[in-house]
Structure formats: C-alpha cells, structure tokens
Structure 1
Amino acid sequence: MALHPGLAAFADLVGTWRGEGHGEYPTIAAFNFIEEVTFTDVGKPFLHYLQRTWSPDGAPMHTETGFLRLIDETSVEFILAQPTGQTELAEGNLESNPEGFICTLTSQMQNSASAKQVDATQRQLELSGNTLTTKFAMAAVGIPMTHHLKSVMYRKDPHPES
C-alpha cells in the first residue's frame, strides 16, 4: 500500500521507534522509562499512533493512542486519547529540514470527571535520520506549563515496509 500523498513529510516516521526517557514534574519523584511508539500507515491522509511506556524493570506505565494528520505543508493536528481520562487536540507547525522535521504542538484538553486535571500540553516531535526525540510539557493539577517528559528513540526496524 502506497503512503497517502498528503503524508509525504511523514514518510520517514512510519514504523516502530523504541528508546529511553526521563520524566519529572513538581508533584512527583523523577523517573526513567522505556518508550515504544508506532506510527502506522492505514492508506488514509493520517497515521495511526500507539505509544507505550514501561519502567526500567518492565512494569507497564502509560499508553496513549491517536491520529497524526498533516493538514498542509506546515500545519499538523495530533488527536490523542489516554486511559487516564484525557483527550488532546494538539495543533501546531511542522518545520522540515534535510534530516527530517521538528513538529511543535499545543493542545486543547478535555478531562473526564474522574481524571486528574490537565489544563494544557505542549509536545515536540523531532525526527533526525533514524532518531526520534520527543518532549512533553503540561499544565496540570494547579502547576503552570512545566517540562514533564523527554525521550530519545531509534527505529526498531531499520527498513520498515511501505
């Protein structure tokens, strides 16, 4: 199946990425994690996204899923759902470069009645060759926008199928 032509800027993102990360936030102890992210081409003008994290000893930590949409050459939407009761509509800019791209997104949040209060998030995806770096900040539980997570992942399959 050929990648939808509207996703050309994301062609090198398709596949599974895995690496290590570090998290911190004023209300919790700092921690390390293993992260795996998969971007799947489904033949439509968006990629399906699945993210999972584990503690260094293998205990499951977090997961989220959603859809990454390239609206035009420089505009991106990332629609996410989390089992902790939040949904995110993140929108932002795509800056392409010879090695890949940087995508910076700011969200609108919706919290379920039982979820911890998350007011806003900021995400950054940076693809440089076979390295995917993610950064995540959030305004939550009364704390203003603050850095929370960073991970550096590498392509799990160096030659993903198109």
Structure 2
Amino acid sequence: MGKYPTIQPFEYLEEVVFSHLDRPFLTYTQKTRAITDGKPLHAETGYLRVPQPGHIELVLAHHSDIAEIEVGTYSVTGDLIEVELVTTTIGLVPTAKQVTALGRFFRIDGDEFAYSVQMGAVGQPLQDHLVAVLHRKQ
C-alpha cells in the first residue's frame, strides 16, 4: 500500500527480483503496476553490496529520473534477514520531483519479503510512503 500527504492512498501489484552474477553483489529490480488495468506505475533497479559484515550499500536508479545511494546495516538470525538503509546521496535530473530523503527497511523470513519505504519529497518531511509483504513465486 502506498500513501503520501500529496496523493490519495493506493494499492498496487509488485514484482521484486534479487539475483546475482557470480560477483560480490546482488542485483535488485522492482516493478509495480496498477491493480485495475495493469498500467506500469514505478520501476527501479540497482545493486546491493556488503562491504563488510553487518553493513550494506544500495545503488539504485528509478524510472522517474532519480538515482540514490543508501547505506545501512543488516542482521541475520536463522532464516531471518533484516536490512535498514538510509539515503546518503540523491541525484535528480532537472525535471524530476524534488526528493530530499529516502529510507528502506527489508525483512526476509523464508519465502516472505516485507518492506517499507520512507520518503521526503515535494516539501514534505521524511515519512512512511510504501509498505508491502510479498511471497516468493516458484
């Protein structure tokens, strides 16, 4: 589900793919589309890297002319992985919406992937924007 003070709350369909290329990073791709007509809503792709145990970095490009770098921490307890990231750098093309802050929380527990995204944009402070729980497709 998505929400923000400048828009009506909304629901969406989503696909997230983590993969690797036999290199010391994971590729990450996320796409959303409208529930009603399947129209594409958002897409982002990037890379997750672990520079040292317990620390993680994300480089991400959005279809909406935004690029971001986030850094954070992760923990692993059995099958549970939790990741918390905050933005250190946001790059915008001149026509992009003014996004000033982003943060993410990932929780992977077996075949379940839950996340939340916080955003500060268009004059609004950093706040909850997206939350979802996804399940692995075989």
User: Normalised by the size of structure 2, how large is the TM-score?
Assistant: 0.95
Matching residue's letter, 1:126: R
Cα RMSD, aligned residues only: 0.8
Aligned with 1:156: secondary structure? coil
For the residues of structure 1 that align with 2:103 and 2:20, how far apart are their CA atoms? 24
1:106 aligned residue (86, 95, 99): 86
2:72 aligned residue (75, 86, 92): 92
Matching residue's letter, 2:135: Y
User: Normalised by the size of structure 1, how large is the TM-score?
Assistant: 0.82
For the residues of structure 2 that align with 1:151 and 1:88, how far apart are their CA atoms? 21
1:71-105 CA distance string (max 9 Å, x none): 12100001000121110101000011122211000
Per the alignment, residue 27 of structure 2 pairs with 48
* Structure having greater relative contact order (Cα 8 Å, sep ≥ 6): 1
- Once structures 1 and 2 are overlaid, which stretch shifts more, 94-103 or 127-136? 94-103
For the residues of structure 2 that align with 1:33 and 1:89, how far apart are their CA atoms? 25
* Count of residue pairs brought into register by the alignment: 136
Matching residue's letter, 1:92: G
1:127 aligned residue (84, 108, 121): 108
1:109-161 CA distance string (max 9 Å, x none): 1111110000010001100111000100011111001100011111112xxxx
Aligned with 2:52: secondary structure? coil
Structure 1 stretches of 4+ with a deviation exceeding 3 A read none
For the residues of structure 2 that align with 1:80 and 1:106, how far apart are their CA atoms? 12
Structure in which a larger fraction of residues adopt helix = 1
Per the alignment, residue 136 of structure 1 pairs with 117
For the residues of structure 2 that align with 1:56 and 1:97, how far apart are their CA atoms? 34
Would you say 1:27 and 2:6 are equivalent positions? Answer: yes
1:36 aligned residue (3, 9, 15): 15
1:10-49 CA distance string (max 9 Å, x none): xxxxxxxxxxxx0000000000011101111101001111
1:52-75 CA distance string (max 9 Å, x none): 001112111110000011112100
Unpaired runs of 5+ in structure 2?
Answer: none
